[in-house]
Structures are given as C-alpha cells and as structure tokens.
Structure 1
Amino acid sequence: MTTQHTEGPPEEGVRRWRRLKGGIAGALSALGVFLLLSSRYAPNRPVTYEGIEDHFKYGSIGGDNTENGLPLRVMQILPRMFHEHLQGGRDYTTFGFIQEPGRPMPVGFSIRRRGIDLVGLNCAVCHVGSVRASEDSAPVRYLGMPANTVDLQAYFEFLFRCAEDSRFTPDLVIDEVEKDGALFPPERLVYRGAVEEMRRGILRARDRLYVFTPLNPPFGPGRVDTFNPYKTNQFGEYYQGHLSAEERLGTVDFPSVWNQRPREGMHLHWDGDNTSVMERNVSAAFGAGATRADVDLPRIRRVKEWLDVLPPPAFPFKRSEDPAKLRQGQALYDAYCAGCHAIGGAGVGRVVPIEEIGTDEHRLNSYTTTLRQLQVRYDRGYDWEFRHFQKTNGYANQPLDGIWARAPYLHNGSVPTLWDLLTPAERRPTRFYRGHDVYDPVRVGFRVDVREVEGRRAFLFETSQPGNSSRGHTGARYGTELSDSDKWALIEYLKTL
C-alpha cells in the first residue's frame, strides 16, 4: 500500500513565512540601493564650485541637461574606444581643449548629476585662450580670452563618427566603461538606456548641423557659426531643414569676454545685434546646449558679475619702454583708433554700415529679421526675455582692451596680426596657419608659419574661401597708409591696452 503524505498547516506556514521574509529582504535591499543611488545621484544637481575661476571653467549654465547632456563616463572612454576617429590624437586635447590635471573633463565642460553624471558645454569652452613663446615653451592660459586652439566643429565631427560606428552599442560601450570601474547593477540598466539615447541624440544633432556645415568651409580652430545652429535646432520646425544660400554662412572668431561692464548698452556680437550683456549671455547659453527649461540664470549671472570687472591680461612679452615711441604711438592711436575703439569714444559700440567698413558680409547676412522674430517669440512664459535683439546693417566697433590677446583680427579672424591689419587689404596674407598658440610678439598675433605644436596640427586658413575674406578696414582713415615707423609705434602703444 502506498502512503500519501499531505502537507499540514505548520509546513505551509513555514513556507509562507520564508516567502514573506524573502520579499521583505528583497524590498529592503531595493530600498537600500535606491537610497544609495539617491544620495549619489540627486536629481538635477549641477556640480558647484566655490572659486569663481573654477566656476567659470567648469560650472553649469544649463547645457548639461537631460536633452543635450552626455553621460560623463561614456564621454571619458570615447577617445580610447574610438581612437581611430581622433586622426592621430590621444584625447580631447586633439581638438584644442585644455585638460587640467585631475579634472574629469577639459575646461569648458560642466557636470550635472541627474540619474547619472551628465556633461555639457559652458562659457569657458569658447573663452579660455592659450599663449606660448615658442613651440617648445609651456603654454600660459588666460581666462576670458578667445579659445584660439579649440576646434568645435572637429569635436562634433568626432562625436558623429563615434555614433555612426557599429561598435557604439550599449553592451560594448558599457564593457569599455567598466574597465575604469564596475557599475552597480541598477547603474548598468540606466547606462544601457543612456548609451542608446546618446547615440540617437548625437545623430539628431548631426542631421541638424548638416543642413549647412557640409556646404560651408570648415570653421577651423577659434571660430564658430553663431546663429545658424539656432535655426536648425531651436527653430528647426520653422526652417524645416533648409537655409537660404545668402544666410547659411555666419562663421566668426570667438571674442574676448573680459571687462564687460563698460560694454553694457553697446552694440554686442560682431554685427551689433544686441545691446544687453545678460541677454547676450543667455543667448550664448542656448548655443551651448541649454534649453528654455534648464538655462541656469543664477549661475550665468554669477559669471557675468565676475566678467563685468575681469581686467584684460597684460602683454606678457617684452615691449618698448621708449617714452618717445610710446607717445608717438598714443598720438597715432588717438588720431586713428580712439574715436571708434576707445571706451568713451564717440563711435565705440556703434554699428558701422557694411558699405563703409567693407569687411566680409556673410556674418551680417546670416542674422535675419526672421530669426529675430523667432527669438522674440521663443521667450514667452519664461523668466528671461529677448527684448534687445535687432537686425543691423553692418559691424559694431568694439573696445580694444587686451587687443594683443584677441588675434586673429576682424570679425572672421581673417587677419593674423596687428601688423597685417595695418597693411592695405590687398597685401594681407591669403593663407596662414592658425589654431596653435605660438605667439609673435613683434607683429602682435599668432605666428603664421607654425604647422604643429606637441603633435597637434595647425589649421591652414585661406581667405579665398567664402566667409573668410580679409578685405575691408583699409585705407587712410584706418592707418594702412602710415609709414612703417608710425605703424610700429602704434603697435607698441596697442600692446599697453
């Protein structure tokens, strides 16, 4: 006879208790992981910096948001995983970025914790420059100076090539990330989605920028197209993937951003399309990737208040101490430059019509009345407003403080040195190397013959390319017909500004 065993109530109670205990343990474990991750990844918390210089170099302005921010740990491994796309470089310094020891990313990248650490661009990416006395000397960095070595277009092209690569998959990217340290299991899940969204986001950005960039000459280092990315990004629905030939090229040199307080009320941007320093800064934040919801006004204002009083850097090389020559140079400056470029001068901060100044018209044409109308509508319902944008008919006169550090010259960076700017336009260099930081203290600008520094190749700039013309700002009123002796005296005085 077979005896059938029937489980009694005590055994059933034990099994239920074990299941309940396991469920409680699992819930507590999940709660512990949640609390751990919550303390590690507080939502929407940018990394903050007590020192204003670190805040300028690494603080958030809103570009590290969930829409445009990129996962930090993925960004750190891209140069290693996709080194062949660096075209001989080793890391992000390939694109002229400045990497300081111990920092997770170069100058100009901020970090925000929002689920995972995200990075974005800030003001310093375009406004920290580098100068060295020779190819073999150490560089000196200046805050507020145009980022003369940074090639933003080459950097974005690198990201595009990475996203197009068949190896850019969650599994392979996460495997590479974990070579630098294992991820928690919940982090792995977050990163799987983040990697895929990063790839899609980069490809969307590529498609938007490719509306105009393949048709134009490359930016090269130290330059950017200011407003056309706006048209294809923030206002892509209006432009629908098309820019007219007349307005699709607006490449300009990065400007300096020191000593901003006296500039309040002047016509800002190269074409003078805005007269509010804060409004211009907010506009620049959108160009760096901030959105209407995430633009960080308090942190932008903190930078502004510092830049208001940041002095221009002194000329770092030997200059003439001959009092007679300096007096001669100052008299020439007063006669030829001060009316338009000295703070307090009658014409400083005013727009000179294109027919009068005669410089390359492309940047002027790229900012249109239509874009202005779209910008005005863009701010409705937010704490900031674009009230001061306007369409102009030329380029704005700017003060010359720290002019030695703002080479190359003219709005498109088409004239390498002050000596060349004082040369009649038809005799200015038509091809020269830029994007390095080796300085010519005599002619005042970066040397035109340096092809490579520390393994990083310079960019060959050609004035024959559309948007690159070095014409204009020439003739007797601009000092290009002075004697050589007068020109050298004027240059010596300009070194003192």
Structure 2
Amino acid sequence: MTQTSPTLVPSVVKGTKAVFKWVLGAIVGVIAVIVFLIWPAISNSPVDYADIQDHFKYGSIGSEEVNGVPYWIWKVLPELFPDKLPDKGYTSLGFIQEPGKDLPIGFSQRRVFINRVGLNCAVCHTGTLRETPNSDRQIKTAMPANVVNLQGYIKFLSEVAIDPRFTANRMLPEIEKISGGINPIEKLVYRFIAIPQTRDALINQRSRLSFIYQQPDWGPGRVDTFNPYKAIQFHFPMDKLREDELIGTSDFPSVWNQKQRKDMELHWDGNNDSVDERNKSAALGAGVTPTTIDIDRIQRVADWLWTLPPPKYPYQVNQTLAATGETLFANNCASCHAFGGKYTGKVVPIQEIGTDPHRLNSFTYQTLSNQNTLYAGYPWRFNHFRKTNGYANAPLDGIWLRGPYLHNGSVPTLRDLLEKPENRPKEFYRGYDVIDREKVGFVSTVAQENGKQYFKFDTTKPGNSNSGHVYGVELSPAEKDALVEYMKQL
C-alpha cells in the first residue's frame, strides 16, 4: 500500500484552510451584499410625517402588515377595473385627494417586504365642505367623513377579487405602465406572491363580509362598526344572525376634544368609557390586528386629538337671535348635551330616546364577551366594554360640521331634528358637502351635480328610521330658529 508522504500533509492542510477561508469570506460577503440590498425590502418601515396634520391624514397605525394591499396592486385596480367604480378613480367613492399627494386622505403606506397600503384614522374622521356649489372644497380633519363611501370601497375590493382579469398577466403590464417600470426582483415578487396572495386574501374577505350585501346601502358618511368585527375578528356565522343584529349602520363621529370626553360613555350606545380602548378598538376597525397595532403612532394621534378644538363656525351669526337661543338651550338641551351637564355622556334607555334600535341591537352580549378578549396578553387588554340599553347623550361641540344627525344620520339638519318625526324628511340626499347655513348641516336636496349622483337616504329602510329624540319639538318655529342660531357657535 502506498503511503502519503508526510512532507506533503502540511501543504494539503494549509491549502484546504486557505480555500475554506476564501469560501467563508465569499459567503459572508455575498450575505452582506444581499442584506444591504434587500434589507429595505424586508424591514417593517412605515412612512412617517413630521407635521401632525399630515401624520393624522397619511401616517400608519399598523393596518398594512396583515390587511394592507400591495402598493402597485392598489394603484392599478382603478385602471384595470374602472367598470366597478361609480366614476374614475378612488375619489369617485368620496375619498379626498389633496394636490401633490400620492394617496387619498385616510390611506397610509408601510414597507413590509414590499410597499403596502392600509387605512388609518382619517379615513373615517376627515370631511369636506363648500360654501357654495362653486366654491373650493375645504378639508376639515377630525370631523365625520361626510363624503366617504366606505361600503363602496369594501364592495369594490370584493368584486375585483373574483374578476377573471385579476391575474398577473393582466395586472403586470398595467403596473409597468403606471409605474414606469419596476425592478426585476419586485416583478417576480408581484407575479408569484403578491398578486395571487392578494387575490386569495380579498376573496376570503369577500366571503367573511358577504353580509354587507344583505344590508341596506350605508351611503357616504356611515359605517357598520361591530358586524365586521364579528365576521373578521371573531368568525361569527353571520348568515345565522337576526336582521336586527345584522344591521348596525351609524354615522362616523367627530373625534376632537377628547380630553373633555374622558370617563364619558363612548360610542353611540355608550358601550365603553375608556378613550384609550375606544381608540384601539377603532384601529382594529381600520384593519389593525392585536399583533400589528402601532401603539406609538396611534398615541401620537391621540395626544393631538386630546385637546384639539372643533373648527369655529366661520359665517355670520345673528347674535340677538342666538342670545334667545342660548336661554332655550340652557333650559332644554344643556343637561344632556353641554360639557358638565348632569346627563351628558350618559346612556338614555331606548324606550325613552325612541331612536332606531338596530345599532344598539347589533352589539350583543356575545359580541361583548369576545370584545373583552382582544389584546389578551398585553397590558392594554380590553376590559371596559359593556352592553347597554340605549344611546349615549353626546356633547354638541362643533355640531355645525356633524350633520346629518341622530346616531344613524337619518335627519339632515338640526332644524329638521326639532320637528316631530312625522314631519322630518322621509328621503334626502347624502354626500353633498355644501353647507346649509340656515338649517345647519349640509344641503340635502341635491340629487346630482355635474354628473355626480348623490346617495338617496330612505328612512323607511331597516336601520334608517328617523324616529325618536322628540326633545324641543313643541317649541314655536321662532324658538326653534333661535335655538339653531345659537348651536352654530357650539
């Protein structure tokens, strides 16, 4: 047997070590290059804004990570499916597009492997107004989103998901056209991961939220708050629910002056007295999950809203008439609707208030028991939710920007609310943002303008009743006018 020369062994070992070191160095170098190149793509990076107004309108609250739509898919959907929108683009659903901004108000962006688009607080709490039909639109943050058709957006995503055009072969050329070209790696990610997974996720969401097709149309400025919770968070069998539980549509509220609402019974039915829990609950409604919620960025918004005052009524007020109205308000309204009032922020039983019961009935004891499991394992686990028997008296700060009125937005103006229910408008139009200076609210008699159709609100449909809240209806017409004149200044 031939033996290896002992003089050769050290040379072989030395050469092997050199090769090993070279290979190891090369691997480390390649890894370093890969990490350097793709780290921005795999890191969790929200787009931040220094200005608090911009942060409120466009900043992330954590909704993109699980429920966000990949950026280029979101951008291309209106181009590929224009037949599924009322008109061109997302603005046809009432979303507010500011000049020079990439996304409409209420949409945020975060990079989680790829850029994703989600919703934030402003989508439900930013609105517009015009002084006249020919005036420029003014954007008011923290007011109810009076022109946004959120149900329309949900239905749009649901419909495109089952359309045979939702394929990589159809979508990528459109993405290339509007983007000017994406890099080859990103193109592969979109073709084999982002597009098919997004379609699957939207089909799943469509199935869970199919109950919205059984509801009367919400219309702009309204949302069903808790039924989507049941379907998405808790997997309730929505097809088994009673009609009076399945319809919980109500108006978006304003969110200014939060410090003065501390310890009040919040939400329309007063089911929670914690501002902090209310904020985190609302974040879930925007698509956040208990594991993706961005506590710091939500807190930044909450700190700003804590002392944010409502916009002041900018038009002339008849001060002589308002002085009479102030006395009427003190005698008829202040105990329930002024800060410091004995019953302000307290729940009035449904038998007394007499307004539409559907929103109250939609929040059940079963919903409550599930609601208080949310954020389990975190210091902020919910424990303030409760079931009530009516609706909470809300303060009327900035009431001039909060029309239509009642919890379900079934009465177009304050002046109409002071009439007996049988004398209030049975039908009117929502989504028109020209201010009604006389009656207070928004002009509600315009069916269409420049080809845009506005939403006809029918008070005979389930959840839309304009009954109840008969306080002040016995005042004289002159007294009602004076009361409305005073409330313009609240």
Give the TM-score normalised by the residue count of structure 2.
0.92
CA distance in 1, matches of 2:31, 2:88: 40
| Gapped regions of structure 1 (runs ≥ 5) | 1-20
CA distance in 2, matches of 1:312, 1:124: 15
Q: Which moved more, 1:53-62 or 1:412-421?
A: 53-62
- Matched with 1:55 is 55
- Matched with 1:80 is 79
Among 342, 361, 367, the alignment partner of 1:365 is 361
Matched, 1:421 2:417: yes
> Could you give the per-residue CA deviations for residues 461-497 of structure 1, whole angstroms, max 9, x where no partner exists?
00000000000001xxx11111111111111100011
CA distance in 2, matches of 1:103, 1:42: 25
Deviation at 1:313, TM superposition (A): 0.7
Deviation at 1:318, TM superposition (A): 2.5
CA distance in 1, matches of 2:27, 2:195: 28
- Matched with 1:438 is 434
Deviation at 1:241, TM superposition (A): 5.2
| Native 8 Å contact 1:208 1:241 kept in 2 | no
Q: Which amino acid aligns with 2:271?
A: D
Listed as ranges, the matches of 1:102-117 within 5 Å are 102-117=100-115
Among 268, 271, 285, the alignment partner of 2:269 is 271
Listed as ranges, the matches of 1:318-329 within 5 Å are 318-322=316-320, 325-329=321-325
Listed as ranges, the matches of 1:326-341 within 5 Å are 326-341=322-337
Deviation at 1:291, TM superposition (A): 0.7
Deviation at 1:450, TM superposition (A): 1.4
Deviation at 1:387, TM superposition (A): 1.1
Deviation at 1:300, TM superposition (A): 1.1
CA distance in 2, matches of 1:288, 1:307: 18
Deviation at 1:30, TM superposition (A): 8.5
CA distance in 2, matches of 1:455, 1:145: 26
> Could you give the per-residue CA deviations for residues 252-278 of structure 1, whole angstroms, max 9, x where no partner exists?
000000001010100000000000011
| Native 8 Å contact 2:42 2:114 kept in 1 | no
Q: Which moved more, 1:157-166 or 1:274-283?
A: 157-166
Listed as ranges, the matches of 1:23-422 within 5 Å are 32=33, 34-39=35-40, 41-65=41-65, 67-87=66-86, 89-179=87-177, 180-192=179-191, 193-210=193-210, 212-236=211-235, 238-239=236-237, 242-322=240-320, 325-422=321-418
CA distance in 2, matches of 1:456, 1:134: 16
> Could you give the per-residue CA deviations for residues 212-243 of structure 1, whole angstroms, max 9, x where no partner exists?
2122101110000000000010000x537532
Deviation at 1:160, TM superposition (A): 1.6
Deviation at 1:454, TM superposition (A): 5.0
Could you say what the CA RMSD is over the residues aligned between the two structures, in angstroms? 2.0
| Gapped regions of structure 2 (runs ≥ 5) | 1-21
CA distance in 1, matches of 2:412, 2:423: 13
Q: Secondary structure at the match of 2:415?
A: helix
Give the TM-score normalised by the residue count of structure 1.
0.91
Among 456, 465, 487, the alignment partner of 1:460 is 456
CA distance in 1, matches of 2:266, 2:295: 19
Q: Secondary structure at the match of 1:446?
A: coil
Deviation at 1:35, TM superposition (A): 2.3
Identical amino acids, percent of aligned pairs:
51
| Native 8 Å contact 1:271 1:394 kept in 2 | yes
Deviation at 1:42, TM superposition (A): 4.9
CA distance in 1, matches of 2:128, 2:223: 18
| Native 8 Å contact 1:128 1:143 kept in 2 | yes
| Native 8 Å contact 1:375 1:386 kept in 2 | yes
Matched, 1:483 2:479: no
| Native 8 Å contact 2:63 2:287 kept in 1 | yes
CA distance in 1, matches of 2:379, 2:392: 28
